[in-house]
Structure 1
Amino acid sequence: MYADATELPGPAALQLEGVSKSYRSGTARVPALREVSLAIPAGTFTAVMGPSGSGKSTLLQCAAGLDTPDSGRVLLGSTDISRLRRRALTAFRRDHVGFVFQSYNLLPQLSVARNVTLPLLLGGRSVDREWLEYILEAVGLSGLDARKPQELSGGQQQRAAIARALITRPDAVFADEPTGALDSATARQVLDLLRHTVTDLGQTVVMVTHDPVAACSADNVIFLADGRLDGALANASVRDVTERVSYLGER
């Protein structure tokens, strides 16, 4: 993981520069992120780990444009999304950001194909059938495009959610505990699929997880403690990640 964009071997897909964010609790302000700076290279898979309250979900939300920092900048590609007005930010997210959630967030009344292409339809963009078929085949859903979500297994629903995240050819895909609702075998398949999107499709993936096994699917694991970056590991083993998590915030 790289803290300085000047050190990157290639262009950065995502940069956070001095990002701070706090939330109100009663009359007090509770800090969630404290001057976080990092840069993530394009075409890499990054996992974000930390204990509850460490700021990892807030980091993901700010990085993906779901929330706005109190201070600092967030750049996706060459766009400073922290400066965009609400309507422009909504349009940018729809066209340039992919999301994968633990709960899938598929619409039960729509087919797989309609769920996957929904970001295009909402943006008034035409559907490239060849690209749709390619994405469905890439995620292992070829031939299932007419099915409804309730006709799919949990793993297949998550595959549909990943296809939806990829359909706009986004600058980055953000995954929030994407394997949290899956059994271990299905979770492994989903992690392999995320890896495939990076290795074979050139996608950039940023994933929040509490699971050391899931984190080890990533190229890099970054750690948060008390809203601050607390180190990183590259090409880490489950043992490396587990040991690192055990003493987060102690140094």
Structure 2
Amino acid sequence: MNQQPAAVRLDTVTRSFGKAADAVTALDGVSLAIPRGSFTAIMGPSGSGKSTLLQCTAGLDRPTSGRVFLGDTETTGLSERRLTLLRRERIGFVFQAFNLLPALTAEQNVALPLRLAGRRPRRAEVRAVLERVGLGSRARHRPTELSGGQQQRGALARALVTRPEVLFGDEPTGALDSRTGREVLELLRSMSDAGQTVIMVTHDPVAASYADRVVFLADGSIRDELCDPAAGQIAARMTALAVVPC
């Protein structure tokens, strides 16, 4: 895995909030490279910095210091306008909340990122990505006519329609039951196997076990990682991280 070119790279990234003595350091000199085509899970106890890591990596937040790269592009020095364009064109997002617009059909929701980018969506293009996530027969259904799992598949299709270099997921199965969550995770796994880079923040060891690699954070620093781990291994490592020394 480490021989593959990096889809995302962080060099000594620090993110602090507040000033002087009241400052809180959410990330403390984090360096991390994520290979293209890999599926990486980010885990850690509450307050470990995992959501801040995802936000800085995806260009939703700016680090206090350090450098972030998407492919060969350093994102930390980009203007807000260029950063917005980069997120729109090269990054996909899936969150715990599906965030589908209730007045639009699945097909219209998926086409929305293309319209926002000033492109006229081709119906065949939108239908192809809906087929990819198993929603080909539900294209004309509105979110209220879809199950939770189908809505998250719709959110995935919306994230994928722009063909992003990296797909970021923030607890993407957190609002789903275990069976439906497993279906979504299997879909993410298949996407990674087909070459899509996936980075997912999760608290669930079972969800993380679908990843190639699990990176563990604690107190804003990377403490450990596991490759191709089982859920039991991940849970044990999380338990060890959560233990507070006397």
Rate the CA distance shift 1:145–1:25 in 2: closer, same or farther, 3 A. Answer: farther
What is the rounded CA distance, in whole Å, between the counterparts of 1:234 and 1:174 in structure 2? 19
Please identify, of 220-229 and 26-35, the stretch whose mean Cα deviation from structure 2 is larger: 26-35
Question: Counterpart of 1:5?
Answer: none
Question: Counterpart of 1:235?
Answer: 228
Tell me if 1:219 matches 2:219.
no
What is the rounded CA distance, in whole Å, between the counterparts of 1:62 and 1:100 in structure 2? 16
Question: Counterpart of 2:76?
Answer: 82
Structure 1 residue 132: deviation in Å? 2.0
Rate the CA distance shift 1:185–1:26 in 2: closer, same or farther, 3 A. Answer: farther
Question: Counterpart of 1:204?
Answer: 197
What is the rounded CA distance, in whole Å, between the counterparts of 1:221 and 1:129 in structure 2? 37
Contact 1:95 1:119 in 2 (8 A): no
Rate the CA distance shift 1:152–1:25 in 2: closer, same or farther, 3 A. Answer: farther
Alignment size in residue pairs: 244
Please identify, of 40-49 and 141-150, the stretch whose mean Cα deviation from structure 2 is larger: 141-150
What is the rounded CA distance, in whole Å, between the counterparts of 1:143 and 1:191 in structure 2? 21
Q: Which one of the candidate residues 32, 39, 46 is aligned to 2:33?
A: 39
Contact 1:44 1:205 in 2 (8 A): yes
Residue identity in the other structure for 1:241: I
What is the rounded CA distance, in whole Å, between the counterparts of 1:198 and 1:130 in structure 2? 23
Residue identity in the other structure for 1:45: F
Question: Counterpart of 1:58?
Answer: 52
Residue identity in the other structure for 1:99: F
Structure 1 residue 238: deviation in Å? 1.0
Q: Which one of the candidate residues 94, 112, 137 is aligned to 2:88?
A: 94
Normalising to structure 2: TM-score of the pair? Answer: 0.95
- The 4+ residue runs of structure 1 with deviation greater than 6 A are none
Q: RMSD across aligned C-alpha pairs, in angstroms? A: 1.7
What is the rounded CA distance, in whole Å, between the counterparts of 2:19 and 2:137 in structure 1? 49
What is the rounded CA distance, in whole Å, between the counterparts of 1:246 and 1:116 in structure 2? 39
Note the 1:63-212 alignment, pairs <5 A: 63-200=57-194, 202-212=195-205
Normalising to structure 1: TM-score of the pair? Answer: 0.93
Structure 1 unaligned residues grouped into runs of 5+: 2-7
Residue identity in the other structure for 1:180: G
What is the rounded CA distance, in whole Å, between the counterparts of 2:99 and 2:19 in structure 1? 28
Q: Percent identity?
A: 55
What is the rounded CA distance, in whole Å, between the counterparts of 1:10 and 1:49 in structure 2? 23
Contact 1:226 1:249 in 2 (8 A): no
